[in-house]
Amino acid sequence: PETGQYIDINDAWTTVTGYGREETLTSNTFDLNIWANPEDRTEFVQRITDNGIVQNFETQCRTKSGKTIDILLSGELIEYRGQDCLLMVGQDISKMKELDRIKNEFISTASHELRTPLTSIRGSLGLVAGGVTGEIPDQAKNLVDIAAKNCERLLLLVNDILDMERIESGNMSYRSEPIELNELVAQTIEANQGYADEHHVTFVQHRSQKDALVRGDPERLAQVLSNLLSNAAKFAPTQSEIIISTTADTDTCRVSVTDKGPGISAEFRAQIFEKFTQEDASDDRQVGGTGLGLSISKAIIDGHDGVLDFVSEVGNGTEFYFNLPRHNNAD
């Protein structure tokens, strides 16, 4: 692998790169300048050396014409004709990446266009429900309440989609300011009391004995906690308590949300932070949601140099928690 000398290639190689068989086999990767980003080759070879195998490594390849294309590579160290060699398989994903870009652009545009009228509808429904247009009959009031709740659900969906688009495009930005987690938790619990009331559960806060001071974006961290609270409220048994605990040690602060719900099956745990995933994805599922909340939450915590994870036992509930670096006032 270190020399980059080509030993054998297939016809697809010549089709994708434009280099013929003879010129490739009498050259090496440095002669052809095939890696558009040389540091990617260094990383790929290092990972192969360390692990013996690399899968789904995304990089860019420079063709004979000078065009740069997106490539998905996998490789494995093998013995070939008595030599230690690197077997590589590459797939041209340029069209797929372009389709993905178009899709994301459409989703972003459509979501922005949807949010404006939805915001107006929500405001108008709020005025009607508040009696600004005059007293409305009880039956009509129920219909307005239903419309307002569904409008709110659509807005949450649109906002989730916009957040996911920002994350995937690398445009999610975060403020950085000192945050006392005990206070943030208290405020977020108050803001989400409606979830507790709707599902007939009780949010109980356990404060840390030490100051739980971190640095980050308070709105985004409140968004993560709100997602954990709403999930816990949906799955917890009626009349049960959901415990929200804050702890702090020398280097780390933790916020955890523990419910007494059904727990998460072993089969689903590996994919729980993936987009659009729900353990019950059937049309008649009992618990609603987009399947985006945990994926977005993980990205937000990752953006704060933290960790979002969970422990769960089927039949005995689940604890979701996030750890953040503790902030020193002197920093």
**pLDDT at res. 282:** 43
Below-70 pLDDT ranges, the chain: 1-2, 280-290, 329-331
Q: What is the DSSP letter of 236?
A: S
Contact 34, 17 (CB under 8 A): yes
Q: Where do we find the tokens 């971190």?
A: 214
Same domain, 196 and 303: yes
What pLDDT was estimated at residue 281?
Answer: 46
Residues 321 and 185 in one domain: yes
CA distance 254 to 246: 6
Same domain, 58 and 34: yes
In a domain, 204, yes or no: yes
Strand extents, DSSP E, 67-144? 68-80, 83-92
Q: What are phi and psi of 189, to 5 degrees?
A: -60, -45
Q: pLDDT by residue (tens digit) across 188-207?
A: 999 999 889 999 999 999 99
Among 134, 169, 204, the domain boundary falls at 169
pLDDT of residue 289: 61
Q: Is residue 46 included in any domain, yes or no?
A: yes
> In which domain, by residue range, is 197 found?
177-325
- Give the pLDDT of residue 4: 85
Amino acid occupying residue 303: G
Same domain, 80 and 102: no
The percentage of residues in the chain with a pLDDT greater than 90, rounded to a whole number, is 60
Checking phi first, is residue 62 left (phi over 0); if not, alpha (psi -120 to 50) or beta? Answer: beta
pLDDT the model gives residue 184: 96
What is the DSSP secondary structure assignment for residue 94, as one 8-state letter?
H
Please give the pLDDT value at position 264: 93
The pLDDT of residue 284: 45
Provide the CATH number for the domain around residue 192.
3.30.565.10
pTM equals 0.68
Kindly state whether residues 65 and 150 are assigned to the same domain.
no
Asked if residue 6 is part of any domain, the answer here is no
Q: Has residue 2 been placed in a domain?
A: no
Q: What is the H or E stretch that residue 299 is in? A: helix 293-302
